[in-house]
Amino acid sequence: QQPVQSPQAVILREGEDAVINCSSSKALYSVHWYRQKHGEAPVFLMILLKGGEQKGHEKISASFNEKKQQSSLYLTASQLSYSGTYFCGTERETSGSRLTFGEGTQLTVNP
C-alpha cells in the first residue's frame, strides 16, 4: 500500500525550514528518502530503520516513529539546490527490499 506524503507541495525562501511527512498504514521495516530533480533519476538521501532512530547530515535530517509508522524529513536553512521532488520509499519486512513510493512532495526554494 502506497505511503501518504504531506504536504504535496511547499514553496520556501532560501534559508527557511521545511518538514515533509510520510505515513503508512502498514508496519514498516524501514523508510528511504530520495530527492528527484526534473527529468533525472532519484538521488538517495538516507535510510531509517524501525526503532525510532534519527539520522542526518548537514542540514537534512529525518526521523522514524515506529509506533506511528511515520517518518519525517527535516530541511533546515534551505538552499536553492534543495528544490526538487522528495519521495519516501517504504519497506516492509516481507517486501524483500521492494520499495513502495509515496506520491512525492514538490519543494521549491526561491531566492
Partner 1 sequence: GAVVSQHPSRVICKSGTSVKIECRSLDFQATTMFWYRQFPKQSLMLMATSNEGSKATYEQGVEKDKFLINHASLTLSTLTVTSAHPEDSSFYICSAISGPATGVNTEAFFGQGTRLTVV
Which residues ranging from 35 to 94 are in contact with partner 1 (CB under 8 A)? 39-44, 47, 49, 87, 89, 91-94
Rule CB under 8 A: say whether 26 interacts with partner 1.
Answer: no
Measuring CA to CA, how many Å separate 103 from each of 35, 42, 53, 59? 12, 13, 24, 23
For the record, the C-alpha cell of 57 comes out as 547530515
**Contact with partner 1 (CB under 8 A) among 11, 77, 98, 110:** 98
Cα separation, 52 vs 16, in Å, equals 26
Cα 99 → chain centroid: 13
CB of 97 to partner 1, least distance (A): 4
Rule CB under 8 A: say whether 2 interacts with partner 1.
Answer: yes
Q: Under the rule (CB under 8 A), what is the footprint of partner 1?
A: 2, 29-30, 32, 34, 39-44, 47, 49, 87, 89, 91-104
